[in-house]
Amino acid sequence: DERSIPARAFTRAFRRARAMDLHTTIHAGEADGPASVFDAITHLHVERIGHGFRAAEDPDLVELLSRRGIALELCPTSNVATGLISSIEEHPARALYDAGALTTINTDDGAFFDTNIEKELRLAHERLKFTREEVRQMLFHSAGAAFIAGTERRSLAREIRRVSDGAMTTKGGLPRKVSSRRP
């Protein structure tokens, strides 16, 4: 609960995780405002922000996210389902992407919110007006932000390229099904 327990309360735990060479992410900028994203960056030094869409309310914060290459794990369906955003079209994913934030599209809890990555990518394309190439770029952002070894990241990027190259030549421009093969 980012409102009740601020990020700085976890400073010691995150410092310890980084000392153990663990990657770090936290929910911020979802139920609470942009200050929670700023605190996650400055107190916890995270590599990714779960949700983080409220960062769009602060252009300086978006610039900081961009400069540091901190990925935002955006989950449009989840944010609408929880009532944090009134409609998909009002989701700030487009504004964050256009402002240079490292945006990724995600499902949050796919079973709970009755979604999957294919649905989320289609929403991004059809209702948030991302072009096919921009959706593809966000997939590459996801690969770059994945907490996996460099060889696995390169393999994932190759798989994204392979699937999306084929999809770019078909009607609709987005893959019908992403390979379930793990890198």
Residues known to be catalytic: 30
Distance CA 149, CA 70 (A): 17
Please give the DSSP secondary-structure letter assigned to residue 99. Answer: T
Kindly state the tokens that stand for 70: 């901190």
Q: Helix H segments across 32-177?
A: 34-44, 59-68, 76-81, 93-98, 110-113, 117-126, 132-145, 150-168
Kindly state the tokens that stand for 179: 């390979």
Count of C-beta atoms within a 10 Å radius of residue 168? 13
> In 3D, which of 28, 89, 78 has the Cα closest to residue 53?
28
* Tokens 């942009």 found at: 34
Kindly state the tokens that stand for 143: 């690969």
